[in-house]
Amino acid sequence: MMKVYTTEKAPAAIGPYSQAIEANGFLFASGQIPIVPATGALAAGDITVQAEQVMKNVGAILQAAGADYTDVVKTTCFLADMEDFAAFNEVYAKYFTGKPARSCVAVKELPKKVLCEVEIIAVKRTN
């Protein structure tokens, strides 16, 4: 059984995809970019500012699904420039304290020319 999760506290999907979907106890969240949900505008600033907004968006989706950052088992991080790796890591480390598995790659370009994007896989706990 699959369940779709949507929250207004994260940017709405702008295409034929879900913010997140749960399947067999796993939560798969679509990549989040630094859009401020309340305004629909990009978070203006450097990699630190944009990474903070991305992490907030990821957190909002996790919360909507009844999960949190400690439930994340895998992240995939996309950077527009590997020169931003250290600054991105500083922000990332504040949120993902459980140190999930991770891939981090530089890509040629991200949607809306943002500096970073993060997608996650989490395990839904049964309490």
* Active site residue ranges: 104
Write out the two tokens for 61. 């989706």
Q: Which helix (H) or strand (E) holds 92?
A: helix 85-95
Radius of gyration of the chain (CA): 14
CA distance 51 to 90: 9
DSSP 35: B
